[in-house]
Amino acid sequence: MQVFEFHFNPPKQSELASGQAKLIFDSFCYEPENIYEKRLGSLYMVGFLKNVLPHHFRFLDNLARVIKGEYYSPKLHSQEKSLKESLRTANEFLENIAKSGNVSWLGNLSFATISLRNFELNFTKVGDLKVFLLRGGQVIDIDRKLRFQEIEPYPLKIFGNIISGKLAENDILLVLTKEVFDFFQGQNLLDEIAKLIPFDERKLREILNNKKEEALKISGICLLVFLSKEILAKKREAILPQPEKFSLKQAFSPALNFIKKLIKKPGLPPLKVPGLKLPHPTFPKPTFPKITIPTFPKLRKNLIVILVLIFFLALGAFIFQKEKEQQLKEYQTTLNQIQEKMEQAENFLILKETSPEAVQEANLLFRETWEEISLLAKIASTLPQDFSNQIFSLENEISQNLYQLNKLVEIAEPKLLFEFNSREFVPQKLVFDIDDLYFFSPYSQNLFQVSKNGEGQLIPVEKKFNLAVSLTGSILFFSKPNQLINFKNEQFSQAFSLEEAYSDFNFNDFSSYKSNLYFLDKKSGEIIKYPYLKIFEWDPPQLWLNPQTKKAIEAKSMTVDGSVWVLNKDNSISRYYAGKYQETLKLDLFPEPKDFSKIFTSPAFTYLYILEPVQKRIIILNKSGQIVKQFQSAKFNNLLGFAVSEDSKTIYLLNGLKVYQINF
């Protein structure tokens, strides 16, 4: 890292001593001096004070000293937390100055504080200072979030928000006071400095020296920080275990030693038995199996065979070891490529608040790295421990980035609203109306009501319901093959039989819009509309889809808000309007969709809600298909359905016998 401080025409010491100086400015650069400070990185400050009074000449020095003292204090804070604490202390310091009656600096102070550690950037500023990032020939204004933040009147705080981001090798940070910024902009110096690729200190000084005459007319500071590759080299350090080198000599030495011993003993020693004179009794001649004692030539031949066998075994082990080493090198190359993509993705997220296009690019890169690291994670258990640890560490880092970019919230302990007794009622589906949830099942009679306060009661009815929709102040239940029953004020109406649209129709989903009824038949792909006629009466059915338009064959679910939204077999969403296909939303989500089961919205809702039991989550999208939020929990292990409150702020999830509540 290289730091350059350019002070343009600072006030002379004589002017400061005599009280004639009308402005003061300075820069303060602190590098870590010990292992405790290294965990927080470098600290840079630029200050500018105009309309100076004689007792203000040490103002900037004192403020910088307070910030530095708190930032590097021996407290185990993160980099961002330490900066926040130092700014809090600075606010207290300035507040005490104001309380003493010294308020002339208010409205005249400009001050920037930057902390930088291993490309992690945190900074804040007040007043007329500009902070730029120069990258790849581009000039990026990164303090836009603080652009309109002014010093507020005492006793409110001076330093406020902190901007955080991720920088990269060869980036240049540039902090300019207002007059210097106007000069740089007017002389096109920002673009000239940005084009110094690779960065060259000599050329930088040439650029400024070429404007030396014009620079004599301005006063202020240019602080330039160039992020050199030394930090990156440390960050990119890879842990690759070094396998033991294979040695043919070492592999063959036991066999060779054994052979040498045998060669030294070419034959068997003669058997010497002391002579004994005994009578020779007569016995039957015994028979023994023939035993062949190998002679030395035959033994040598067998040893050669063994030696050849050992040679080929050792050669195989040698080849296997070399292949293993080569495989580890290939894995390391893959890890390096994954790390490079991660850095590219992080570069798109320089700031926490960045453009949608940059977020999309970062998301795509992180998705690619996730697919690549997942392949390595499957075989990590067969690799050396250090290597597998490196894989799992990268996998965790990538997943955390993807969760954040895809707005996924993991809920460890979701709020339990109600739990059913299986002996009393086993729910399969639910619908929300006004302040209550109603649970039903196609397999058993009765209805069960649960209030938003978690109180439940069984409502006896000798009917089995297949589908239900909420109307204004009532619920319309559908029972196959064609019966409708309305439930209002805790009373059931007489059943109404719908006219069949065609002979073999089979409804799979049911929705309502302005009291018109819409049924989905996924086998034929047709959407059947029953126009509302009058109180609890509907006209004969119509084939709502235009004959020439795309059919909703094998669709999973449907919902209506003026447009008809159809959840397709491939987990995409098709939108129809006035009976015609309009568009298909192909969702770019992480985790990748596997099997969506239900979609829901209403004319009063801004969002689409999608349930995916297999990945234990519910997804909220805007109606352009962009992700708003995801909720996931290990407790969502048997999701059957969901409902949304009328104000769209609460989601109710039926999970087996439990009903969970998410406030959104």
- Average pLDDT, whole number, for the chain? 83
Range with the lowest mean pLDDT among 420-434, 471-485, 555-569?
Answer: 471-485
Q: List CB contacts of 119: < 8 A, sequence separation 6 or more.
A: 166, 167, 168, 169, 171, 227, 231, 232, 235
Burial of residue 585 (number of CB atoms within 10 Å: 0-12, 13-18, 19+): middle
Cα–Cα distance for residue pair 266/628, rounded to 1 Å: 87
Please check the confidence at residue 54 and state whether its pLDDT lies above 80.
no
CB neighbours of residue 121 within 10 Å: 25
Whole-number pLDDT of residue 12? 79
Q: 3-state SS of 35-71?
A: HHHHCCCEEEEEEEEECCCHHHCCHHHHHHHHHHHHH
Domain boundary (385, 405, 425) is at 405
Cα–Cα distance for residue pair 653/184, rounded to 1 Å: 58
For the segment 195-216, the average pLDDT, to the nearest whole number, is 87
Range with the lowest mean pLDDT among 16-25, 101-110, 583-592, 600-609?
Answer: 16-25
Please check the confidence at residue 212 and state whether its pLDDT lies above 80.
yes
Angle between helices 385-405 and 296-348 (to 10 degrees): 20
Tens of pLDDT, residue by residue over 340-390, are: 888 778 767 765 555 677 788 888 889 989 989 888 888 888 888 888 888
Whole-number pLDDT of residue 217? 87
- Which has more pLDDT, 246 or 584? 584
Top-ranked range on mean pLDDT: pick from 78-82, 254-258, 481-485, 594-598: 594-598
Are 379 and 430 part of one and the same domain?
A: no
Strands (E), 100-208: 109-117, 120-126, 129-135, 138-141, 163-166, 172-177
Are 530 and 436 part of one and the same domain?
A: yes
Range with the lowest mean pLDDT among 69-78, 168-177, 215-224?
Answer: 69-78
Are 385 and 427 part of one and the same domain?
A: no
Longest dimension (CA), the chain: 142
Whole-number pLDDT of residue 272? 44
Query: Does a structural domain hold residue 272?
Result: no
* Cis peptide preceding 32, ω within 30 of 0: no
Are 298 and 189 part of one and the same domain?
A: no
Domain CATH number, residue 51: 3.60.40.10
Q: Which residues of 424-443 are buried (b: 16+ CB within 10 A; e: fewer)?
A: ebebebbbbbeebbbbbbee
Domain boundary (405, 436, 464) is at 405
Whole-number pLDDT of residue 155? 39
Q: Count structural domains, the chain.
A: 3
Query: Does a structural domain hold residue 242?
Result: no
Helices (runs of H) and strands (runs of E) counted in the chain: 13, 38
Query: Does a structural domain hold residue 284?
Result: no
Domain CATH number, residue 636: 2.120.10.30
Tens of pLDDT, residue by residue over 612-657, are: 999 999 999 999 999 999 999 999 999 999 999 999 999 999 999 9
Query: Does a structural domain hold residue 564?
Result: yes
Q: 3-state SS of 613-640?
A: HHHCEEEEEECCCCEEEEEECCCCCCEE
Confidence of residue 236 (pLDDT cuts 50, 70, 90): very low
Are 353 and 225 part of one and the same domain?
A: no
For the segment 2-9, the average pLDDT, to the nearest whole number, is 90
Structural contact between residues 90 and 63, judged by C-beta atoms closer than 8 angstroms: yes
Cα–Cα distance for residue pair 664/560, rounded to 1 Å: 22
Are 139 and 189 part of one and the same domain?
A: yes
pTM: 0.60
DSSP reduced 3-state for 398: helix
Are 221 and 319 part of one and the same domain?
A: no
Whole-number pLDDT of residue 389? 86
Whole-number pLDDT of residue 17? 63
Are 436 and 365 part of one and the same domain?
A: no
- Which has more pLDDT, 86 or 298? 86
Contacts of the segment 525-530: beta carbons below 8 A, 24+ positions apart: 525/551, 525/552, 525/553, 525/554, 525/555, 526/501, 526/551, 526/552, 527/552, 527/558, 527/564, 527/566, 527/576, 528/501, 530/498
Are 210 and 341 part of one and the same domain?
A: no
CB neighbours of residue 373 within 10 Å: 24
Give the distance, in angstroms, between the CA of residue 647 and the centroid of all CA atoms in the same chain: 29
Q: List CB contacts of 194: < 8 A, sequence separation 6 or more.
A: 134, 135, 137, 138, 139, 172
Are 310 and 365 part of one and the same domain?
A: yes
Query: Does a structural domain hold residue 283?
Result: no
Tens of pLDDT, residue by residue over 130-187, are: 999 888 888 888 876 554 344 444 334 567 778 888 788 888 999 999 999 999 988 8
Query: Does a structural domain hold residue 161?
Result: yes
In terms of DSSP bridges, do strands 526-530 and 516-521 run parallel, antiparallel, or are they unpaired? antiparallel
- The residue segments making up the domain with residue 42 are 2-235
DSSP reduced 3-state for 385: helix
Confidence of residue 584 (pLDDT cuts 50, 70, 90): very high
Strand order in the sheet with 598-600: 408-410, 627-632, 617-622, 607-612, 598-600
For the segment 313-332, the average pLDDT, to the nearest whole number, is 74
For the segment 476-484, the average pLDDT, to the nearest whole number, is 91
Are 169 and 204 part of one and the same domain?
A: yes
Q: What's the N-to-C CA distance of the chain in angstroms? A: 45
Q: List CB contacts of 632: < 8 A, sequence separation 6 or more.
A: 408, 409, 410, 411, 615, 616, 617
Question: Comparing C-alpha atoms, which of 455, 464, 473 is closest to residue 495?
Answer: 464
Are 395 and 509 part of one and the same domain?
A: no
For the record, the structure tokens of 210 come out as 């070429």
Question: Comparing C-alpha atoms, which of 507, 462, 503, 461 is closest to residue 480?
Answer: 507
CA-derived radius of gyration, the chain: 39
Query: Does a structural domain hold residue 253?
Result: yes
Query: Does a structural domain hold residue 288?
Result: no
